[in-house]
Structure 1
Amino acid sequence: MNPGRGELLRLRIAGEHDVFLARQRGREVAALAGLENQDQVRVATALSELSRELAALARPATITLSLIDAPAPALLIGAHWTGRLPGTTGRDELAAVEGIAAASRLADTCAVTWRDDGGSVALTKKLPAGAEAPTEARVARMREASRRFRPGNALDALRSQNQDLLQTLESLRARQEDLLRANAELEETNRGVLALHAELSDELEQTNRGVVALYAELDEASTRLREASESKTRFWANVSHELRTPLNSVLGLSRLLLDPGSDPLTAEQRYQVDLIRDSGEMLLALVNELLDVAKAESGQIEAHREPTELRTVFDQLRAALRPVAATPAVELVVEDPEDVGPLWTDPVLLGRILRNLVSNGLKFTEQGEVRCSARVDRPGETLEVVVADTGIGIPVEHQRRVFEEFYQVPGQLQSRTGGTGLGLPYARRLAGILGGILELGSEPGRGTTVTLRLPLDLAAEVRPVRFASVLVVDDDPAFRAVLHRALDGSADRISEAVDGVGALRALHSERPDLVLLDLNIPPPDGAAVLAEMRRDPGLGDVPVVVVTSAGLDAAQRRVLGATAALLDKANLSGDLLLAAAEAATRLVRGPR
């Protein structure tokens, strides 16, 4: 509703009599608007205070009472005058005038406007929630009702104020009596609380002593558990180390026997030595798995991400496990994955996960197949690797427990195949380290499906790029030739160095666009060459790809990977090399 059309009453303030009239009429209009008694008194008092200031002006002032519905239904009191109130030269002094300040405290909102030739005040008092809406029809009825008011005199106004004061005093007296009763009840409650506190103090003190003793026991138990866990981890690590020493000897001797330069073996002897070597390698893999689980539990395994071809990981999986699956009744099928480009992941951890899953499937499949496949879920940007078998399956009640360490599903086949019960728990830990999850579905007698879901983190797109100058540092001439072929079409000029001294000499004579660096070179080794480059202001931002077959521990990978991309010689391809070069460039120069 337009506030201008909601005017109920207009008053002219020219003298003391108008002050009493404004108070009287204001209370009557407030009652018509639906305000409660206390708010009626507030409105009447605000009008009285405001009118008292306006009555002192030389020219009459105007006060209007209106109903408005925005921003909320309210009674609007507007005052307009010409001339200046005593002591006012601006808005701030006007708002501080005693009558206006008192009226503003009694209203919900107060807006003051100062002008050179006068001013205005707008006060609002919100209508109660249950009051009738200020429609046009209601305003018309209230306006008609206000015209029938009979003005009183000063005595009537004084009598009305006295009644208001009496009602206020009565209300205050009732509140005081309520407060006295509440205080009495509170004192009684306090006495009860003090008595209860006195009764509970001894029990609370005894309980506290018991809790302190219990905490001491829990601390001691936690210490014992921590020590037991550390002892278990040390035990695993020590046992694994002790087992690997004779196993490495067995494998070394079997390789010597199979070496073409050794004394010739009969076909049967060669077959038996092959079995010894294969069994030793399998046992060594189990020992390494046990050691890796100990490392995973102690938080020592970290993902070392590098450009990785999924097809290469699958080829290595196929080559490693096909001899194990060579049975007429069970076929191992490793499908060629979709070509999605180089992935930014840890190929070692990914390979371990898949070997564990496929080995598990082969172990518990008596006939049929074990199939490993991969697909890309584009909407979810997820890589899904699925290992499905047609084996004995896992009952529902055991499907959650197979991810517990050392737990094995009871059954005849399980007892025959043996195992540590660490494969699936270890695979799940590694999946978590790579930022993925491992899900299992199985039906007894129909097989098991395990799905590895990893974020589809692609290495930088391999774009056609040419390097004006590339320095290859490797003491193996055959591998230098491999790097030359991998750089075919990507480098204008390739220079070589076979040791650390030659590498540093070549670096200082001509700054290359890219360095391919082996670690195991004659002194200074590759790590020292890289460190020297990063200390040199002129070489600090040259991209370096460390191409090595050395087994690096976590600390070495962390140090080298801070300023260089890492690439395993076994996984080398042209696309991976270019992706690694892109990653090395981002490390030292930021994205292109």
Structure 2
Amino acid sequence: MATAEAAELIRVRLDADQDVFVLRRLGRAAAELVGLEPQDQIRVATALSEAGRELFGTGSTATLSISDHHLLILLEHSQEPKHADRSKLQNLEGLKLAGRLVDEITLNDGGVTLAKRLQTRRPPAPVAEIRAKLADLSPVSAMDELREQNRELAETLEDVLRLNAELQETNTGVMAMYNQLSEELEETNRGVVALYAELDEKSSQLREANEARNRFWATVSHELRTPLNSVIGLVRLLTGPGGDPMTEEQDHQVRLIGSSTETLLELVSELLDMAKAESGRLDPQPSSVDLARMAEQLHVMLRPTSASVGVELRHEVAPEVAELFVDEVMLLRILRNLLSNAVKFTVRGEVRLDAHLDTAKDEAVIVVSDTGIGIPAEHLTRVFEDFYQVPGSLQVRSRGTGLGLPYARRLTEALGGTLELASTEGEGTTVTLRLPHYSGPPELQRVMIADDDEVFRAAARRMLHGFAAHVDEAADGAAALDLMTAGPPDVILVDLLMPRVDGHVLLQRMAEDDRLQRIPVVVVTIAPQRAPGDMVVLDKHGLRREELLQAIRSAREGRV
């Protein structure tokens, strides 16, 4: 509250009870002269009488001043006040009431300052004119002040009666509108109930279809894999040691049968994994992977095909990403898929695999590029659709299923990474695979995500891939408490806005439990300013992986 430019209007000494009445009248008059509304004038007068009554003492002084924005009243003591302890001043009922009647109240060792905000930046009358009018006010008796207060009370009652009549008239209109809205709402509710019934029926049909699909994939897995494995086993018996001698052409044909059968078995496995990915049941099992050795094996595997069509295979793996902590089977299938596509659609030139570390994002970047036929711009947005095949590409070498890229992207997302494609027709295609970079085991064993947003839980799980060995999910605070009671996690991510038991209640319950209060907490919410205490807080919108991991580390360091 700035008072440096305040202009003094009048000063009053409080030597007797009569002076409190004088102060009240001067306060109301000053409020009127500076342009305050009648209700605010009464508030200022009442605040002065209450504060003056509490702080009255011989030698007390009241100073009325005006600044650009406030009417200021300073009540100060030239002698020791009755209530010298500031903490006692704060508890005085008169001062509490005065504080509710004005905009600001400040307590200090010298007294109390009351401030009422002006409705305009400057008063309608000059300061000199206000001073003169205040000086002309004669002292009043207690009876005169009581008469003035009664008049003010009567005016206030008249205003209340007028407002009450207006309120009653408004209530009549509101009731009419309420009845109309109630009828419309009841009609809408009947439609909603019918819609819910239809949605329940559709949901039931979808569940049945999903169960049928799962049964179908289980049957496909068993009925196709078993005979394919048998064929592969017979081929190995025929071509292995101890088999009957065959001509060179027979040996070649049998090996082709075995190769085709293995390819078909891989396709069946990919189809089954696609179904698992769609149902969210792909569970990566990370381990230490030698990326340089994997790249060499893939090139050895593809070299016969590439050599037959004059395509050169190259690979270069930077030392920083030579070893990755990732699911080896999933990564192998992704890279084999990308390299096979590149070889299939390249008629001359080369296919390259380059891997390096993006230090800014702490990600391993694997780029598979080719000098093949490329993809027309109008088809780039559709190549990741299931079973989609670019028109005109079927004549290149062999017919595919249209599942390679969608399957590779789903595996990539399960690993917590991203897969992007860029291509120029007639020049070639570049596919960029980005994975979280970990060269060792996870930092944490268990992280819990307590959030009712399923989409965010899935995104957070991908961000935590490789950083945490296990990620538990809870859709509300009650489920989170049950999981934590069974086994406390290393850290918990909490959303404040959840159904049933929200984040605030969850944190309170954790603070009351000796076992749970030691769990580090990171608040991830759309309203971070509402987070309690000094906890680590993140805004859910635009959250990046490096921000989340750093916040988790900070929260754990704060609990050590």
TM-score band (shorter)? 0.5 to 0.7
The structure-2 alpha-carbon separation of the partners of 1:79 and 1:35, relative to structure 1 and needing over 3 Å to count, comes to farther
The reply on whether 1:251 has 2:232 as its aligned counterpart is yes
Equivalent position SS for 1:344? strand
Alignment partners' CA distance in 1, 2:296 and 2:333: 13
- Structure 2: gaps spanning 5 or more residues: 443-560
One-letter amino acid matched to 1:429:
R
1:275 and 2:256 equivalent?
yes
Tell me what 1:407 maps to. Answer: 388
Question: 1:380 deviation in Å?
Answer: 1.9
Q: CA deviation at 1:84?
A: 8.0
Summarize the Cα distance change of 1:447–1:41 in structure 2 as closer, same or farther, 3 Å threshold.
same
Query: CA contact under 8 A between 1:108 and 1:123: conserved in structure 2?
Result: no
Compared CA separation, residues 197 and 265, structure 1 to 2 (3 A): closer
RMSD between aligned alpha carbons? Answer: 4.0
Q: 1:177-576 to 2 correspondence within 5 Å?
A: 177-191=162-176, 193-194=178-179, 197=182, 200=184, 203-204=187-188, 208=190, 211-329=192-310, 331-340=311-320, 341-411=322-392, 413=394, 417-459=398-440
Which of 169, 173, 181 in structure 1 is aligned with 2:154? 169
Matched, 1:61 2:62: no
Deviation at 1:452?
Answer: 0.9
Query: What is the distance in 2 between the residues matched to 1:192 and 1:308?
Result: 70
* Correspondence 1:66-81 to 2 at 5 A: 66-67=64-65, 73-80=70-77
Distance 2:203 2:91 in 1: 69
1:152-192 Cα distance to aligned partner (Å, 9 max, x none) = 2537x866764565355335424422331331242144235
Give the 3 Å change call, closer, same or farther, for CA 237–322 of structure 1 in structure 2.
Answer: farther
Aligned 8 A contact 1:343 1:459 in 2? yes
| TM-fit CA distance, 1:16 | 5.4
Q: Contact conserved, 1:33 with 1:75, CA < 8 A, in 2?
A: no
Partner of 1:150: 136
Given that 1:313 and 1:347 are in contact with CA atoms closer than 8 Å, whether structure 2 keeps it comes out as no
Q: What SS does structure 1 have at the residue aligned with 2:308? A: coil
Shift of 1:433: 1.2
Given the alignment, which residue of 104, 112, 116 partners 1:126?
Answer: 116
CA deviation profile, 1:471-502 (whole Å, cap 9, x unmatched): xxxxxxxxxxxxxxxxxxxxxxxxxxxxxxxx
Bigger Rg, structure 1 or 2? 1
Contact 2:351–2:368, Cα closer than 8 Å, also in 1? yes
Give CA-to-partner distance per residue, 1:241-277, whole Å, 9 cap, x none. Answer: 3233333333333333333543444333333333233
| Gaps in structure 1 of 5+ consecutive residues | 115-119, 462-592
Compare 46-55 and 181-190 and name the one that shifted more: 46-55
Amino acid at match of 2:74: I
Separation in 2 of the partners of 1:236 and 1:83?
Answer: 90
Distance 1:227 1:316, change over 3 A: farther
TM superposition shift of 1:211: 4.1
Q: 2:391 is aligned with what amino acid? A: P
Q: Alignment partner of 2:429: what SS?
A: strand
SS at match of 2:306: coil
Note if contact 1:8-1:64 (Cα within 8 Å) is conserved in structure 2.
no
Q: What is the match of residue 502 of structure 2?
A: none
CA offsets 1:201-253 (integer angstroms, 9 cap, x no match): 8745xx62x54444334333323323323323332332343233333333333
Give the counterpart letter for 2:176 in structure 1.
R
How much has 1:454 moved relative to structure 2? 0.7
Contact 1:370 1:388 in 2 (8 A): yes
Residues 364 and 413, structure 1, Cα contact 8 Å, conserved in 2? no
Change (3 A) 1:411 1:240: farther
How far apart in 1 are the matches of 2:4 and 2:138? Answer: 29
Closer, same or farther: CA 229–410 of 1 in aligned 2, 3 Å: farther
Instruction: Give the 3 Å change call, closer, same or farther, for CA 359–229 of structure 1 in structure 2.
Output: farther
**In 2, Cα distance between the equivalents of 1:97 and 1:280?**
92
TM-score by length of 1: 0.63
SS at match of 1:411: coil
Give, as a single letter, the amino acid of the residue that structure 1 aligns with 2:116.
K
CA distance in 2, matches of 1:50, 1:266: 116
Rounded Cα–Cα distance in structure 1 between residues aligned with 2:19 and 2:237: 123
Identity rate of aligned residues, in percent? 44
Name the TM-score, length of structure 2 as normaliser: 0.66
Instruction: Name the residue aligned to 1:499.
Output: none
Secondary structure in 2 matching 1:317: helix
Corresponding residue SS for 2:317: coil
Residues 161 and 77 (structure 1), Cα distance of their counterparts in 2 relative to 1, 3 Å cut: farther
State the Cα distance separating 1:358 from its structure 2 match: 1.3
**Mapped partners of 1:111, 1:43: distance in 2:** 15
Q: Deviation at 1:425?
A: 1.4
Deviations 1:6-26 (A, max 9, x none): 654332333455445434444
Deviation track 1:504-550 (CA, whole Å, cap 9, x = no partner) reads: xxxxxxxxxxxxxxxxxxxxxxxxxxxxxxxxxxxxxxxxxxxxxxx
Is the CA contact (8 Å cut-off) linking 2:344 and 2:396 kept in structure 1?
no
